[in-house]
Amino acid sequence: MSKTHPLTTIRVTRMADIARVRQMVMVTGETVGLKKWSRTRLVTTALELARNAVEHGGGGRLAVELADGPDDRRLLIRASDQGPGIPERVVNAARSGVIATSARPSGGGHGLRGVVRLSDGVSIETDQGGACVTAAFIIDDARPTPDLIQAVGDAMLAADKSDRAAALSEQNKELLEALEERDLMLREFHHRTQNNLALITSMVRLRANASSSDDVRAALGDIASRIAAIRDVYARLQSSEELDRLHVNPLIREAMEKTAEAVSAGRKVAVEVRGPDLYLEASQAIDVALLVNELLTNACKHAFADQDTPRLTVSISDGEGYFTLTVRDNGCGLKDGAEEPQRSDALGWQVVRSVASKFDGRVSVHNDGGLAVTVHLRKIGRAEIEAEY
């Protein structure tokens, strides 16, 4: 059983108190020897918990503690308040790592999933009388506990007496350096993910080519196309100015050209993207790439049998909080009495419906000199990403 030793407690009742939280937690992380990225995780978690206590718990306390356990030593960041508590659905969703639309917090609990992901362990106690969230971070400092407590206390006292503006400036510099380091790691992650997906795509296509069954080749070809659509998103993220957002129009145009070339049996298919340049969070861009890939593949496979001059158009409209994609071909359209394709059990249409449902969307299909499929989707904003993560 671990023994807990208090290091400091900071009262947080207004946003101005957040600066002190940041300073004291940063100093603690430095004193116990945490590396830059680990200090960034520690400080980010403390700030998130402190902000949540102020904004949604009516104020509270943030305690920094040292826990000596049988197997490891940990820093604890414990935030408590006497607010309305965190909804149970938000706690359960954060612990499971998935926050569905219905579980997004409207009160306390903002950033809870991020706290879970950043720390090495989290405990959450909450009821109508308040919440107490404790995040743990493993440390490697082997100094005797009294010496470590003394070192942290001395460092905090020195920081409190120093020029606070200069100290915050230095902390900002270190955080920026850590974020730059994170960006390099994230670019490397995107690069490796892209390469791994390219390898998987090649393996699937090799297996498809080796099969004597037309059905197997077609199924594996569709799988390879879906993997490639995700790979292309990571390829663009790697070179994007922002590592978690990207312009979607070039991605759609590239997907149209590749799909037309791969599926249209050598015929030239004219492609066009219309509308404003859509700028989406990376997680949503991946889903949009899958959706567009399905609609384009379906059009190239089924629409142009009797069309001498096949043409594909993707039209985009960008509204406040939502956007619309319309994929249109100039093919044969739906025959009279044909089943509405958006109700089809085919895997491609299941993917389209799944993406639409994920973003509170709707799908409509109609004949318009060919087939036109319109998908209306809610746009994920940066604030919502932060609330989920």
Q: Distance between CA atoms of 251 and 229, rounded to whole angstroms?
A: 9
How confident is the model at residue 383, as a pLDDT? 43
State the DSSP code for 125.
E
Mean pLDDT of the chain: 80
Region class of 34: left (phi > 0), else alpha (psi between -120 and 50), else beta? beta
For residue 134, the one-letter residue type is: T
Per DSSP bridges, beta strands 371-378 and 270-274 are: unpaired
Q: Are 47 and 18 spatial neighbours (Cβ–Cβ below 8 Å)? A: yes
Residues 199-233: tens digit of each pLDDT: 888 888 888 888 888 888 878 877 887 787 778 77
User: What is the per-residue pLDDT for 105?
Assistant: 39
pLDDT band at 9 (very low <50, low <70, confident <90, very high): very high
67: which residues sit within 8 A by CB, 6+ positions away?
A: 2, 3, 4, 5, 73, 74, 75, 76, 136
Q: What's the order of all strands across the beta sheet hosting 3-12? A: 3-12, 60-68, 73-81, 130-139, 122-127
Q: What is the pLDDT of residue 19?
A: 82
Predicted confidence (pLDDT) at residue 134 exceeds the cutoff of 90: yes
In order of 29, 110, 169, the CA distances from 166 in angstroms are 18, 30, 5
Q: Give 72-104 pLDDT, tens digit per residue.
A: 899 999 999 988 988 888 888 777 654 333 333
Mean pLDDT for 10-30 is 88
**Tell me, what's the pLDDT at 386?**
42
Q: Which residue has the higher pLDDT, 183 or 23?
A: 23
> In angstroms, rounded to a whole number, what is the distance separating the alpha carbons of residues 282 and 232?
12
What percent of the chain stands above pLDDT 70?
A: 80
> Cβ(78)–Cβ(133) under 8 Å?
yes
pTM of the model: 0.50
Choice among 144-153, 265-274, 314-323, 358-367 with the minimum mean pLDDT:
265-274
Residue 344 is given by DSSP the state: -
Residue 30's pLDDT is 92
Query: Is residue 314 within 8 Å of residue 293, measured between CB atoms?
Result: no
Mean pLDDT of 134-156: 92
**Beta strand extents in the chain (DSSP E only):** 3-12, 60-68, 73-81, 122-127, 130-139, 245-247, 270-274, 279-281, 311-318, 322-329, 362-367, 371-378
Asked if residue 193 has pLDDT above 90, the reply is no
Catalogue the long-range contacts made by 340-345 (C-beta closer than 8 Å, 24 or more residues apart): 340/365, 341/298, 341/365, 341/371, 341/373, 342/373
Please report the pLDDT score of residue 170 as a whole number.
Answer: 58
pLDDT tens profile 29-79? 999 999 888 888 899 899 989 988 888 888 999 999 999 988 889 999 999
CA distance linking residue 142 with residue 146, whole number of Å: 11
The reported pLDDT for the residue numbered 265 is: 59
